[in-house]
């Protein structure tokens, strides 16, 4: 496993559409391992393959509070969504920034796991926000295009050296501040 470089906004790869994965290969399996390691290292809750420069329909996520529930989504698509949530989110590719985005409050996603077995996953709040954010990456869309109002600067915590990534990809701490999302499923850091 290796930590890969996270591409940042302005990098054209982030605006490109990812391609379907036809079959799992050792190379793609290694990519998935690296994406998970990169996401955890950056304290993110999600990461799309295009964010590490690979145009494949692959997303990794972990919205659990103790960072113990990795989820790998190959060729994911949203098959059901409902409701609405408005809250802040960030992105590992837009370090140091947050913005308010309205997303579905519930989504069900169909995908393949890393063995190319089909499965479905569903969830609300942070899970739903993260799925929407990551699937947008797969079609080359960044959350900054959806932000209501201005992008905000992340305030670095006292005495902490800021890498700009602490709150990346849907910071739940901030999401809680929006009130109705106070019970956000994943209280962990957020980074998509
Ligand atoms: Ni992102």
Residues 6+ apart with CB under 8 A from 111: 59, 73, 74, 75, 76, 77, 118, 119, 120, 121
- CA–CA gap between residue 142 and residue 32 (Å, rounded): 21
pLDDT at 190: 52
Judge whether 55 lies within some domain.
yes
Distance 60 CA to ligand 1 centre (A): 11
User: Taking residues 135-160, what's their average pLDDT?
Assistant: 89
Judge whether 5 lies within some domain.
no
Distance 119 CA to ligand 1 centre (A): 23
pLDDT at 46: 98
61-114: per-residue pLDDT in tens? 999 999 999 999 999 999 999 999 999 999 999 999 999 999 999 999 999 999
Q: Is 134 annotated as catalytic?
A: yes
35-51: per-residue pLDDT in tens? 999 999 999 999 999 99
Instruction: Count up the domains in the chain and report the number.
Output: 1
Report the CATH number at residue 144: 3.90.45.10
Full DSSP string of 54-103: --BSEEEE---TTS---EEEEEEEEEEEE--EEEEE--TTSTTEEEEEEE
Cα–Cα distances in Å, from 73 out to 29, 88, 142, 153?
12, 23, 19, 30
- CA–CA gap between residue 81 and residue 1 (Å, rounded): 34
| Structural domain for 149, as ranges | 12-176
- CA–CA gap between residue 58 and residue 189 (Å, rounded): 21
Distance 132 CA to ligand 1 centre (A): 10
Judge whether 49 lies within some domain.
yes
Distance 22 CA to ligand 1 centre (A): 24
pLDDT at 168: 47
Judge whether 152 lies within some domain.
yes
Judge whether 158 lies within some domain.
yes
- CA–CA gap between residue 150 and residue 167 (Å, rounded): 17
Judge whether 27 lies within some domain.
yes
Judge whether 186 lies within some domain.
no
Judge whether 128 lies within some domain.
yes
Q: Which of 134, 166, 167, 169 is catalytic?
A: 134
Distance 91 CA to ligand 1 centre (A): 4
């Amino acid at each position: 496993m290796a930590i890969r470089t996270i591409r940042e906004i302005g990098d054209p790869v982030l605006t490109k559409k990812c391609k379907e994965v036809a079959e799992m290969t050792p190379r793609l399996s290694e990519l998935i391992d690296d994406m998970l390691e990169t996401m955890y290292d950056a304290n993110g809750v999600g990461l799309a393959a295009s964010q590490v420069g690979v145009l494949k329909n692959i997303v990794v996520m972990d919205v659990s509070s103790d960072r113990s529930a990795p989820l790998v989504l190959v060729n994911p698509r949203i098959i059901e969504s409902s409701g609405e949530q408005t809250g802040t989110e960030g992105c590992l590719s837009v370090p140091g920034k947050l913005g308010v985005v309205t997303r579905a409050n519930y989504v069900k996603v169909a995908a393949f796991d890393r063995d190319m077995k089909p499965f479905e996953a569903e969830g609300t709040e942070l899970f739903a926000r993260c799925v929407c954010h990551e699937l947008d990456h797969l079609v080359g869309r960044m959350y900054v295009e959806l932000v209501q109002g201005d992008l905000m600067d992340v305030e670095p915590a006292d005495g902490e050296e800021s890498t700009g990534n602490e709150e990346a990809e849907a910071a739940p701490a901030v999401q809680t501040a929006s009130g109705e999302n106070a019970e956000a499923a994943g209280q962990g850091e957020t980074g998509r």
